[in-house]
């Protein structure tokens, strides 16, 4: 695969046929432009010739031909006409088999609305670090937040990493591009007293058992809404997380839990057992009222007719009840945060909290929920102060005993 370099022009003969390399004016070094042609390897064994022209000098043509050789020698696919947009759309198509629907939807939004409008027309093989830096600058100018830009970069970086792994590119142009500085706001979950106030306020509300289960188990919203009675074993006080529901463009999609580690079992307190028993009784009354029209999907928490609850409705109801209870508005996911914080504050070891929340690593639990609440901070400070006070008291006692010994009359010693 050596290739050849030649000079040609766009002159035509009297029949309007291109003269190409046969133009007599090519004897003049300033006439025409330089091109190269090279045969590329193909899967079917047939010859595939790549021709590129329009180079001002022979040296430029040689340099481009050399790049083609380097890519072929590295087993990297050569397609200098594919754009970033074309590649990303194809990449999304491949990802639909491995990503969860909501994740795929988020990736698609970033590709079509944030990446392709700005760098989509650039040839994939010509994408450089500087292009991605300019993309970040443009997103900042548009008023996009640091969190959004970080997510956009993560999607682009992932797509280009796949291109490198699949021998489509030699390097990842987004690998070393840094997003703007961002520090996630520290969220303060409710205290135990506020949680008790909320549960007391919503007593008798149809969704009260659902919210109490969120607080008392640390389950995610999608996991609770997809929970079925066959997953709940009240005799042995455990429930199994097997499914989760998400809302993708208005369509409820049931799939696997968030991570592999999320699919596991959770222990239930006697309080939670009572909540589930109350929910079963309430649901039995609704089933009897609806009769044959009841949609029995075996869901623990459902609409009055048995149909699945929509996540957005549950969130709106939670905020409405929080407001009437006079409590600060928090996310539904903060109830999971609350469960973790209360366990940690009451001496439950971090590894056990991590297992209860079904995190894949203890470090995730520590990063997400290991921060100090004011109560925990005061308790820790008091414990440290108590140790220092005890050590100081012991030191004073030893000194007093030593002085007493030194002051005794010699005859008494």
What are the pLDDT digits (tens) for 327-385?
A: 999 999 888 888 887 787 777 777 777 777 777 676 666 666 655 456 556 666 777 77
How big is the chain by its Cα radius of gyration, in Å?
34
* DSSP SS3 for 380: helix
pLDDT at 398 over 80: yes
Record the tokens describing residue 135, joined without a space.
């993309």
As a whole number of angstroms, the distance between CA 101 and CA 249 comes to 10
pLDDT tens per residue across span 88-107: 999 999 998 888 888 899 99
Q: Which of 10, 3, 15 is nearest to 63 (CA)?
A: 3
Mean pLDDT of 281-309: 95
Crossing angle (nearest 10°) for helices 333-345 and 192-201:
130
């Amino acid at each position: 695969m050596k290739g050849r370099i030649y000079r040609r022009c766009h002159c035509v003969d009297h029949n309007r046929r291109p003269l190409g390399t046969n133009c007599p004016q090519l004897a003049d070094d300033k006439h025409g432009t330089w091109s190269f042609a090279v045969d590329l390897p193909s899967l079917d064994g047939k010859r595939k010739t790549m021709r590129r022209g329009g180079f001002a000098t022979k040296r430029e043509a040689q340099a481009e031909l050399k790049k083609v050789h380097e890519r072929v020698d590295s087993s990297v696919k050569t397609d200098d006409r594919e754009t970033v947009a074309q590649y990303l759309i194809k990449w999304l198509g491949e990802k639909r088999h491995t990503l969860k629907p909501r994740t795929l939807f988020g990736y698609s939004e970033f590709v079509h609305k944030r990446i392709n409008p700005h760098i989509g027309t650039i040839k994939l093989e010509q994408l450089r670090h500087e292009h991605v830096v300019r993309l970040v600058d443009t997103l900042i100018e548009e008023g996009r937040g640091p969190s959004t830009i970080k997510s956009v970069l993560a999607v682009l970086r992932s797509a280009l990493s796949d291109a490198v792994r699949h021998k489509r590119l030699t390097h990842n142009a987004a690998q070393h591009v840094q997003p703007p500085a961002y520090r996630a706001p520290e969220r303060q979950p409710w205290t135990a007293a506020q949680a008790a106030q909320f549960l007391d306020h919503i007593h008798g509300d149809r969704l009260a058992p659902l919210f109490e289960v969120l607080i008392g188990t640390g389950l995610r919203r999608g996991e609770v809404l997809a929970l079925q009675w066959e997953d709940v074993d009240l005799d042995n006080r455990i429930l199994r997380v097997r499914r989760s529901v998400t809302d993708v463009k208005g369509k409820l999609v049931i799939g696997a839990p968030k991570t592999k580690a999320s699919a596991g079992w959770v222990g239930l307190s006697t309080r939670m057992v009572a909540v589930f028993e109350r929910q079963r009784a309430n649901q039995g009354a609704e089933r009897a009222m609806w009769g044959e029209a009841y949609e029995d999907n075996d869901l623990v928490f459902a609409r009055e007719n048995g149909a699945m609850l929509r996540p957005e409705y549950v969130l709106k109801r939670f905020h409405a009840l929080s407001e009437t209870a006079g409590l600060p508005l928090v996310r539904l996911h903060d109830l999971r945060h609350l469960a973790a914080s209360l366990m940690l504050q009451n001496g439950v070891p971090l590894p056990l909290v991590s297992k209860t929340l079904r995190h894949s690593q203890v470090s995730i639990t520590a990063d997400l929920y290991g921060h100090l609440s004011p109560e925990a901070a005061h308790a820790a400070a008091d414990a440290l102060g108590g140790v220092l006070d005890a050590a100081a008291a012991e030191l004073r006692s030893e000194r007093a005993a030593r002085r007493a010994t030194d002051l005794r009359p010699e005859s008494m010693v």
